[in-house]
A = this chain, B = another copy of it.
Amino acid sequence: MNISGWGEMALIKHLAEQLETSTQVLKGIGDDTAVLPSPEGYDILFTTDMMVENVHFSRQFGSLYQAGKKVIAVNASDIAAMGGIPGYAVISAAFPEHLEMQDVDNLYRGIKEMAAEYGIDVVGGDTVKARDIIINAALTGKVKHGNAVYRDGAREGDLLYVTGSLGKSAAGLYACQYLAGESNNAAAECARKYYLEPRARVEAGMRLGEAGMVTSMNDVSDGLASEITEICSASNKGCRLNLNEIPAAPEVREIASCAGKDFIDWALYGGEDFELIFSTYSSCREQVDKLFAEIDLPAACIGEILPPGEGIYGITPGGKKEYIQPGGYEHFSQPGDGS
Contact = CB atoms under 8 A, between A and B. Distances in A.
B4 A98 contact: yes
Contacts of A5: 101
B11 A48 contact: no
> Interface majority SS on A: helix, strand, loop or mixed?
mixed
A33 interface: yes
A258 interface: no
Contacts of A131: 131-132
Interface stretch (A103-111, A170-178, A206-214): A103-111
Interface stretch (A20-28, A246-254, A271-279, A285-293): A20-28
A129 interface: yes
B52 A138 contact: no
A141 B97 CA distance: 32
B40 A38 contact: yes
Interface in A74-133: 87-88, 90-95, 97-101, 104-105, 108-109, 111-112, 115, 121-132
Interface in A252-302: none
Contact of A101 (B2, B29, B112): B2
A34 B94 contact: no
A70 to B, nearest CB: 13
Contacts of A307: none
B52 A21 contact: no
A75 B129 CA distance: 18
Given A88-B46, A331-B128, A100 B2 contact: yes
Contacts of A123: 21, 25, 28-29, 34, 36, 46
A18 B49 contact: no
Contacts of A21: 121-123
A26 B127 CA distance: 22
A180 interface: no
Contacts of A163: none
A8 interface: yes
Interface in A2-46: 2-6, 8, 11-12, 15, 18-19, 21-22, 24-25, 28-29, 33-34, 36, 38-40, 46
Contacts of A36: 87-88, 123
Interface string A45-75: 0111111100110000000000000000000
Contacts of A2: 97-101
A202 to B, nearest CB: 17
Contacts of A11: 104, 127
Given A1-B100, A3-B100, A92 B12 contact: no
A134 interface: yes
Contacts of A331: 127-129
B18 A112 contact: yes
A131 B128 CA distance: 16
A48 B125 contact: yes
A8 B88 contact: no
A140 interface: yes
12 contacts: A1-B100, A1-B101, A15-B104, A18-B105, A18-B109, A18-B112, A19-B122, A28-B122, A34-B124, A38-B38, A129-B336, A132-B132
